[in-house]
Amino acid sequence: MEYSPPPLFKQGASARVKMTVFACISIALLLVDSHMRSLETVRYYAGAVLSPVQKVALLPRDAIYGVGDYFSTLSSLEKQVRELKTQQIVNSQALQQARLQSAENAQLRKLMDARERLPVKSQLAEVLYDARDANSRKIILDRGTHHDVVLGLPVIDNQGVVGQVTRVFPFTSEVTLLSDKEQAIPVQLLRNGLRSVAYGRGKSGNLELRFTAPNADIQVGDVVVTSGLDGVYPAGLAVARVTQVENSAGGSFGGVICQPLAGITNNTQLLILMSTPDMPARPPEEAERAPRKHNNKMAPIKDAPKEGEGQPAAGATGAAAATPAPNGAAGLFPVMPPPPKPAAPADAAAAPGTTPAAAPA
């Protein structure tokens, strides 16, 4: 009985033989190509033919790599966007702070320049907050009695008058703004010196010149300054600019509306004038004179009596000659005629020194 190898052994032997043959052919081709370089053209055309096939074969791998790169790139970009947004917020806050500090520095420079030009001593104060009363126009400063602030001191900025100190605490003080309804300040026009009084108009933020004649020489654009007549504000400080003039021929007074020149609602630093202008002492009040009798009435002044009128008769003696005429010449104070005496009764006795009238027959 003959031995026959299994089919798998036969297939493996034939495969080994084929591999050996191909290996020998490859070695031979490598040797020939290394010495003669005759396969470069074949390799070139083979690469050109197999390149599309290679790309198609690599498409699944490239797709997998592309999806992974996409998600990793997207995650990285989202992280960068978050970091950039955070940095943008920080930079925006820093920019706002820089702008605020720049504005405050500019305002402080202007206040220092105005402080050097003022004829009186002053000190800087910072606005802490507005007063709680919504119906008034008041602010709170960080200066009080500890800083020598007293009632009545004026408060200004680099453009004009802001208000007046109306309440003082140890470390803070309350300032009533010019636009408050209870605030009034004597002013005059810079152009012609016309004097008036400016009253606040409340929430509107404007001022009103009251008690001005309808034909007063006031024009839109006129600058209103302090007159210094109140002894509180130095004369010549800018107050407002005339924005509206209403001349009514039928009214007793004209209406004049002004816009304050000072930054009443947009300042964070202000100047407090620490002294009021020196005013001459007021003259002493005159003592009241006691009213004289009949001094409130004027007696009619008549012409001087003619010759022979109002003179006592010749030979007249006694009290009748010494009594002056009731309408004699007037002196420094007019003399009023004496009041009439009541009539005597009919049966009264005759006065001494006189003869009673004869009875009728």
Residue in 204, 150, 206, 209 with CA at minimum distance from that of residue 175: 150
For position 4, what pLDDT does the model report? Answer: 58
pTM higher than 0.75, yes or no? no
Residue in 254, 177, 163, 188 with CA at minimum distance from that of residue 215: 254
Residue in 101, 79, 111, 151 with CA at minimum distance from that of residue 263: 111
Q: Rounded to an integer, what distance in angstroms lies between the CA atom of residue 122 and that of residue 153?
A: 10
Write down the H helix ranges in the chain: 7-36, 40-117, 319-322
For position 305, what pLDDT does the model report? Answer: 52
CB hemisphere CA count around 185 (13 angstroms): 38
pLDDT in tens, the chain (361 residues): 555 555 655 666 777 888 888 888 888 877 877 777 766 777 778 778 888 888 888 888 888 888 888 888 888 999 999 999 999 999 998 999 898 888 888 888 888 888 888 778 889 999 998 877 777 888 999 999 999 999 989 999 888 899 999 999 999 999 999 888 888 899 999 888 898 899 998 878 889 988 788 778 888 999 999 988 888 888 888 999 999 887 655 556 667 899 998 888 788 889 999 877 666 666 777 766 666 655 555 555 555 555 545 444 444 444 333 344 444 333 333 334 455 555 554 444 444 444 444 444 3
* CA-to-CA dists, residue 250 to 146, 194, 208, 209, 218, angstroms: 54, 22, 19, 18, 18
The CA-to-CA distance between both ends of the chain, in Å, stands at 223
Q: Rounded to an integer, what distance in angstroms lies between the CA atom of residue 338 and that of residue 132?
A: 69
Residue in 253, 239, 116 with CA at minimum distance from that of residue 184: 239
The number of angstroms, rounded, from the C-alpha of 106 to the middle of its chain's C-alpha atoms is: 17
For position 282, what pLDDT does the model report? Answer: 66
- Identify any residues that bridge with 141 across adjacent strands, giving them in sequence order: 127, 173
For position 82, what pLDDT does the model report? Answer: 93
- Give the three-class secondary structure for 141: strand
- Strand 207-212, strand 173-177: pairing: unpaired
Residue in 122, 185, 115 with CA at minimum distance from that of residue 149: 122
For position 80, what pLDDT does the model report? Answer: 92
Residue in 119, 162, 116 with CA at minimum distance from that of residue 139: 162
The tokens describing 334, both together, are 């007019």
